[in-house]
Structure 1
Amino acid sequence: MNTEANSTTNADHQVVQVADLTLAFRDVQVFTTTPTGAQLAQAAGFTPDQEATVLAVLADGELEDVRPTEIVNLATTSHRFVIVLSDRLYKFDVNGVVYEWPARIISGRQLRKLGQVPEDKVLYQTLPDGVERLLGSHDLVDLDCPGIEQFMTRIHHWKLNVQGVLLTVSHPTITVRQAITDAGFDATKLWIIVLRVHGQTKREVGLDDVIDLRTPGIEKLRLTPREVNNGEGTTAPLRMFALLPVDVRFLDGLGLRWETHVERAPANRDRRWLLIHDYPVPHGFTAERTLLALEIPLTYPGAQIDMFYTYPALALRTGQPIPRTQVSALIRGNTFNGWSRHRGPGSAWDPLTDNVATHLALVESSLLKEVQG
């Protein structure tokens, strides 16, 4: 782009992209493959007497001034241009690379775009007294100050408080499991893990949940042992029969205490139960959690898991009765309330693919149906 010309014509129509100071590009047509700066400005809607400034956005992100009579060869160079009204260009430096901008004021976001600053880095302005100013996307900078404004980037670090241990994280997302481990806690133990975000209701999270540290107001992860007693020691979960490996992996991933229990009965009528402690239930019930029991047939997975039981019995906040919950089962001396919920013809039990996880999906949908109507 160093050729001078008064005018040029070509029958070919070319589409170029032009933007104003917002850097929002739009398509416009020019009627030559070698337009001048003046022709580009006219295509963008400016008249010759306005003397608009035309900046070509080069492939490496730098901006190059295009004079009114200078020819741009669209076959070999940029098709993107910033075209604005300005009486001068303002220079600034990002990490040692000098850029030009046709306006006195520029935003942090525009600086990031022009300087191609990746999302994992933050942008600082170096002030005359040596103080560094952290720039957000909406912060404004006056480029009219004496000298060239200096900017630099650094890898951004996020902070997360895990039960009083302050983590410094170089990636914007982290799993709960990783955060707990990095903070020095044993992720294999049973924890109640609560994420606190300012202005939001605190919520319990699981080990495999992902925390986005870019979320405004993240305060801390709070850990509480799943079972707290009076010092007599923690009772190990009861395992009276084995589940499928896929079930064990799934249940361990829930972060909830679970047990397998055999309820003895005469005449070989023993019943096998999977017990999941503190199982969360949807909002709308009078309780937030329940002890959930699933009966595991002796020939499972050949035989299906059917229904589910809760202790104590769940009740709706509205006081409305819950249909088909009249059955009961005695487990460890407690009377569990049974929900008669069964698979339909279109979702018949498949011993090759169905398991505890898929049955819990039925449990969750059944609970939601009662509170959502």
Structure 2
Amino acid sequence: MSIADAPELISGNQNLTAAQIADESFNFRIFSFDDRKVTGGQIAEAYGAHPITEFVVLHQLANLELEELRPTELADLKRGNRFFVIRGDGTHRFFVDGLSMVWPLKTLKGRYIKQLIAKDNADTELLLEREDQPDKVIDDDEDVRLAGDGVEKLKTRPAKASVTIIVEGTPHSWTKNKISYDEVVTLEVPNYAQHPEITYSVKYTNGPNNRPEGVLAKGETVRVKDGMIFSVSETGQS
């Protein structure tokens, strides 16, 4: 269960003694406590983190900011009922859309950063702000290094409305930031859906930074980039 689909217990619900706790995988589980105020130690114990000295507890506030919660420090579940318990001995600070965040690991994937600010959707792009270069678009599966010099600053924006992709030499305007195997094949073979017995090989080049080239298998999707090139070739009968 991710932040996006976890039950909202912060407001509008009388159950103010329940907490959602996850590790770095962002799979949340729900735990109940006897009181609305809990310590970092209680959160770690409920999650099974032993010894607590080897773990960092993070509390996500109602405004989505992340802060470290010490073992004896109290957190009011009314101010935010989401927590992370992650093995580590310190945190790295960063900002997303002006929100202050901390994280105990050296890197964090783009999709997880978007989840932290409740913008984990295909309509939102994540960018790493850079002073002497253009801001860098961070793909969902791309790691952002948090442990370098300085404090990383990221921001979001609506995904680019339209890009041009090339399929077998023909340019096509594409308005989504991902494309599936079926969608690529259909651009080249418009009646593809009427002939499911025919199989195709789909390859691409000039792709996103984390996957500049590769093979797109049936059932898969890939993030698109302006000028991305696809080849579609028939491989036979299924």
Taking structure 2 as the reference length, the TM-score comes to: 0.61
Whether 1:43 aligns to 2:46 is yes
CA distance in 1, matches of 2:59, 2:190: 50
Q: CA deviation at 1:72?
A: 2.3
Q: CA deviation at 1:202?
A: 0.9
Determine which structure has greater relative contact order: mean sequence separation of CA pairs < 8 Å that are 6+ residues apart, divided by chain length: 2
Q: What is the letter of the counterpart of residue 84 of structure 2?
A: V
CA distance in 2, matches of 1:134, 1:172: 12
Q: What is the letter of the counterpart of residue 53 of structure 1?
A: V
CA distance in 2, matches of 1:114, 1:145: 21
Whether 1:115 aligns to 2:97 is no
| 26-35 vs 65-74, greater mean Cα deviation | 26-35
CA distance in 2, matches of 1:91, 1:152: 15
Match of 1:3 in 2: none
Q: Which runs of 5+ in 2 are unaligned?
A: 1-15, 193-219, 231-238
Q: What is the letter of the counterpart of residue 128 of structure 2?
A: Q
Q: How does 1:284-303 map to 2 (within 5 A)?
A: none
Structure 2 residue corresponding to 1:159, chosen from 156, 159, 163 = 163
TM-superposition CA deviations, 1:7-55 (whole Å, max 9, x none): xxxxxx9432110011110123434333211111111112355352211
Which SS does the other structure have where 2:76 is aligned? coil
CA distance in 2, matches of 1:87, 1:50: 8
Match of 2:67 in 1: 64
Whether 1:197 aligns to 2:184 is yes
Match of 1:145 in 2: 148
Q: How does 1:1-373 map to 2 (within 5 A)?
A: 14-74=17-77, 76-117=78-119, 118-127=121-130, 129-157=132-160, 158-160=162-164, 167=173, 169=175, 197=184, 202-204=189-191, 216=222
| 48-57 vs 158-167, greater mean Cα deviation | 158-167
CA distance in 1, matches of 2:132, 2:34: 51
Asked if the contact 1:89/1:102 (under 8 Å) is kept, the reply is: yes
CA distance in 2, matches of 1:150, 1:82: 21
Q: What is the letter of the counterpart of residue 98 of structure 1?
A: S
- The structure that has the greater radius of gyration is 1
CA distance in 1, matches of 2:174, 2:186: 23
CA distance in 1, matches of 2:151, 2:165: 40
Match of 1:248 in 2: none
Structure 2 CA distance for partners of 1:38 and 1:51, relative to 1, 3 Å: farther
Q: What is the letter of the counterpart of residue 111 of structure 2?
A: R
Structure 2 CA distance for partners of 1:80 and 1:95, relative to 1, 3 Å: closer
Asked if the contact 1:55/1:81 (under 8 Å) is kept, the reply is: yes
Structure 2 CA distance for partners of 1:14 and 1:90, relative to 1, 3 Å: same
CA distance in 1, matches of 2:157, 2:17: 40
Q: What is the letter of the counterpart of residue 33 of structure 1?
A: R
Q: What is the letter of the counterpart of residue 16 of structure 1?
A: A
Which SS does the other structure have where 1:103 is aligned? coil
Asked if the contact 1:160/1:219 (under 8 Å) is kept, the reply is: no
Superposition RMSD on alpha carbons, in Å?
A: 3.7
CA distance in 1, matches of 2:186, 2:170: 20
Q: Which runs of 5+ in 1 are unaligned?
A: 1-12, 174-194, 206-213, 221-373
Structure 2 CA distance for partners of 1:155 and 1:88, relative to 1, 3 Å: same
Asked if the contact 1:91/1:149 (under 8 Å) is kept, the reply is: yes
Structure 2 CA distance for partners of 1:46 and 1:219, relative to 1, 3 Å: closer
Larger strand share, 1 or 2? 2
Q: What is the letter of the counterpart of residue 18 of structure 2?
A: V
CA distance in 2, matches of 1:196, 1:66: 46
CA distance in 1, matches of 2:186, 2:143: 28
